[in-house]
Amino acid sequence: MTSERYELIYWPVLQGRGEFVRLALEAARADYVDVARLPEDQGGGIPAVLQVLKGDHEGAPPFAPPILRHRGALIAQTAAILHYLAPRIGLAPNDEVSRIHALQYQLTITDWVAEAHDTHHPVSTGLYYEDQKKEAAKRAKAFREQRLPKFLGYFERALASSGGPYLFGSEPTYPDLSVFQVLEGLSYAFPRAFAETSKQSPGLLKLRKLVRALPNVAAYLASERRIPFNEDGIFRRYPELDSSE
């Protein structure tokens, strides 16, 4: 069956990587359904995600959620989903080179998100945090001291190259929404380290405020559709990982 409506298939109880897609759909006020957040008797819940992952459909099989279903096709990988969606919902820059640069930024965000995730799961995603706390403490220290300033510095330079206030100038595009989400997540997970390190990134702090105030984003953030950050997601608040003291 093909449908014009965008269907997001993602775990229903966390922001996770699905949130980068939700934010884009919400910012554009696109017609979409967050499939797994429907009740199970309406085809939602975790079974809806597992059903798609089972792979009894045509085309390239998805490895993991988030997954977008549109016009009968399934697309996985957050950056690929956004690259597909953005021109259709008015969130892509205009020219071809800029579109590749938007994807370049999004893939860098993918790396950043994976590193943020690995601060609490440095050994294996298959183990509990409690089983890898020692390694997590080491990994989080390196993240706070080396990687956080490097990623923030990179995106601050990216903003300077466009003249701001967004990555492609005066209008927001999808990587701006994703940078916003990472900044929100990092300030939740590492309130101390983020507050200290982000002092060097005034352009990013401004972008964060601007994105938060976009009317569709503000309405979404205030709605029940925005799942609060929690300790099942990528950005987890474990105070011991925010400080070595």
Ligand X SMILES: N[C@@H](CCC(=O)N[C@@H](CS)C(=O)NCC(=O)O)C(=O)O
Which residues are at the interface with ligand X (CB under 6 A)? 16-17, 64-66, 77-78, 110
Core vs surface per residue 219-231: b (16+ CB within 10 A) or e:
ebbeeeebbebee
Scanning the structure block, which residue is given the tokens 């972008």?
207
**CB 213, min distance to ligand X, A:** 27
Q: By C-beta, is 46 or 142 nearer to ligand X?
A: 46
Q: By C-beta, is 189 or 201 nearer to ligand X?
A: 189
Q: Which two tokens stand for residue 87?
A: 């021109």
**CB 163, min distance to ligand X, A:** 29
CA–CA separation, 232 and 216 (whole Å): 26
Q: Which two tokens stand for residue 169?
A: 């100038």
Scanning the structure block, which residue is given the tokens 């590193």?
115
Q: By C-beta, is 30 or 53 nearer to ligand X?
A: 53
Please name every residue paired with 6 in a beta bridge, in sequence order, or none if there are none.
32
**CB 95, min distance to ligand X, A:** 25
**CB 17, min distance to ligand X, A:** 4
Q: By C-beta, is 16 or 164 nearer to ligand X?
A: 16
Cβ(34)–Cβ(225) below 8 Å? yes
